[in-house]
A and B are shown apart, each in its own frame.
Chain A
Amino acid sequence: MKHLLDTKELSLADALNLLDTADYMAGVGQGDLLKLPHLQGKTVVNLFFEDSTRTRLSFEAAEKRLSADIINFAAKGSSVSKGESLKDTIQTLAAIKADAVVIRHSASGAPQRLAEAGWIDLPVLNAGDGTHAHPTQALLDAMTLRQFKAQRDRVETRGLTLEGLRVAIVGDILHSRVARSNLWLLNTLGAQVKLVAPPTLLPRYTDSWPAEIYHNLDEALESGVDAVMMLRIQKERMQAAFFPSAEEFTRFWGLTPERFAYLNSLNHETAVLHPGPMNRGLEICSQAADSPRSWVLRQVSNGVAVRMAALYLLMTGGSSQDFYPAA
């Protein structure tokens, strides 16, 4: 693995390697093991062309726990309107010192350009690009779903796939890099993905997507799900006629108290996930967000662990075996 640009090209072995490493990393920063020395003397550049305090803090925490040096570069908006191009920015930072680049950008494909245009020769880690991909978010979601499955079935997480797990992803699929990256990764891990959205918030052409498509949330829930992942909806979308009103969106596509009560009435566990930040009362009700079924805070802590895993694997060429000596 030279870069982490998307989850689509990850094999099952790659995915398990990342998740197993992340499981180990989850223990770092707790108890006696405060940090690992593996990236000592190496510099990670965090290139954030889009506001995202949460993701940036998560990456910084991951980098610090691996003892890396950090250069932060933040430029609001893309380089389109500003004077300096992405190419010049990255070449400048690489000239200072960089061993890997973490990039967040509003333009789909910007991380792939960084990796392939020949501007630099460094590992590139996509921290979210436009409406394309957000691989570390998908990995932390998979890590969380794996924990859910392991807890439910009383098994170990390590080596576990998501075989048999039915996951509904609900809301604005069209504009969601989280949904896209989850679609590929969850499939690779053996889960069954159900996408739930009005047709306006789905791409027009999804025939080739490995997912069942639902336009009705109740039907999707009644079809049987083990986890629901509610996506953040941007209220501004209604100005562009994607849906009539926030109220109507909530009524038809939100995880309302009524729907949450329905999930609670079932005789099997259903995990509730949300990539954050949540619009409480819009796509998710507080009852669901704050319930024991909610894995939202676990998602956040898992975020640091998967980012540590990705940085470790990309920058050292190691594997999860480094932490789990062969029996």
Chain B
Amino acid sequence: MPAPTYLIRSASVLGQETADILLEDGKIAAMGPHLEAPGAQVIEAQGLIALPGLVDLHTHLRQPGYEASETVETGSQAAALGGYTAVFAMANSKPVADSAAVVEQVHALGLDSGWVKVQPIGAVTKDLAGQQLADLGEMAASKAQVRVFSDDGMCVWDPAIMRRALEYVKTFDGVIAQHAQEPRLTEGAQMNEGKVSAELGLTGWPAVAEESIIARDVLLADHVGSRLHICHLSTKGSVEILRWAKERGIEVTAEVTPHHLLLTDELVRSYDPVYKVNPPLRTEEDVLALRQAVADGIIDIIGTDHAPHPAESKDCEWACAANGMTGLEQALSIIQMTLVETGYIGWADVARIMSFKPAEIGLASDQGRPLAVGEPANLVLLDPTARRTIVPADQATKGKNNPYRGMEVPGAVKATFYAGHPTVLDGALNSPRREG
């Protein structure tokens, strides 16, 4: 039986000209006005925007080890619903993804699920302990073909280890994704250090703890001539350091999360742990600087830092709650709200920061490709006029720790095609893609 073909009618490509798009054999077979394709299933996309399938360089899928929080299956379903066709799974599972065996396990789980491409990230150091390099080469050479390495959740704080890691991964054009957090400056830290923390009596997480590591690491990357990626930039000062580094020609890229583009530490006044996240929510001034930095190209990509947790990890007092919030199923809406509707960027930029560039950083060659004939048929259809209320209970992710609950947001993903297969249709999960 031949694989079904799909004819998407009258989609606005990257929010610009309207075209029909024919998907056949996992590729874009034709694009243009008024295509005819007898036998193809027709998807009416009048008024919808077609974007390349989104790529998340920063997802916590929690498997193996924390299946109560999320599994590869539920996390990749959430991703598909959010318009993603690829996610990079962070290494802080149990056991930690610091060996070929674990990354191959995650990779295999991703293939079994089939909702999105699941690309494992490898740990930089064994057990994220920051002391001894993980099996970097073994993971790169494994079936998972790891190219992005991160101790995310922990900072590679030791400058000598960081330097060696940056150098070593050049062997296979890898990149170190740093969670920038000076550990001594953030002992016991609970929230952004500022006027709100002063009142609430919660130990502060100062901006300088992020900025000092970023400053050190861009200098290290410059010194050894390596690629460096900075996870979840959260402060205005970090933007300034990045701007300087890029002007100097240092090969550094940076990411911001949707929540750091919208939410501020004022929310912590509720002491509701749904707002507890690392790095913490910052100030309005930081939020605006981060938005501008995306517009200026100082920040390269959006990474969700999707971090699901079981209910009990948040249904407690602030100090004992886990860090993290879910992100995949409304990332595109939050970006539309904070960057597009505010005039900072257009839809073509959304394609760049949520698809092209993250795929390029992570060397996911079949992802983040232009919407053009002959390219892989990874794309998402978005209704930008839709308005919807976020209801965590209705989401596919196991994590209900969603800071946007009850909020009305713009935009709804209507369909997601992963290698020509509709994982999402009519805004709901359709079916996973099966190989061959």
Contacts and interface: CB of A to CB of B under 8 A. Distances in A.
Contacts of A206: 195, 198
A133 interface: yes
A151 interface: no
A112 B199 CA distance: 14
Nearest to A207: B195
Interface stretch (A26-34, A78-86, A222-230, A316-324): A78-86
A211 B206 CA distance: 23
Contacts of B190: 108
A203 B202 contact: no
B193 interface: yes
Given A132-B200, A204-B193, A204-B204, A109 B316 contact: no
A180 B201 CA distance: 8
A297 B319 CA distance: 34
Contact of B201 (A87, A113, A133): A133
A207 B195 CA distance: 8
Interface residues of B, number: 23
A132 B270 CA distance: 13
Contact of B198 (A8, A116, A205): A205
Interface in B239-297: 270-272
B317 interface: yes
Given A132-B201, A180-B199, A204-B198, A110 B317 contact: yes
Contacts of B318: 107-110, 113
A78 B271 contact: no
A108 B315 contact: no
A177 B190 CA distance: 16
Interface in A202-232: 203-209
B201 A86 contact: no
Interface in B192-241: 193-195, 197-204, 206
Interface of A is mostly: loop
Contact of A85 (B202, B272, B315): B315
B312 interface: yes
Contact of A203 (B197, B272, B320): B197
B195 A177 contact: no
Given A87-B315, A205-B193, A205-B194, A79 B201 contact: no
A207 B320 CA distance: 29
B198 A203 contact: yes
For the complex of A and B, 3 pairs with smallest distance between CB atoms:
A109-B271, A203-B198, A132-B201
Interface of A: 8, 78-80, 85-87, 105-110, 112-113, 116-117, 129-133, 177, 180, 203-209
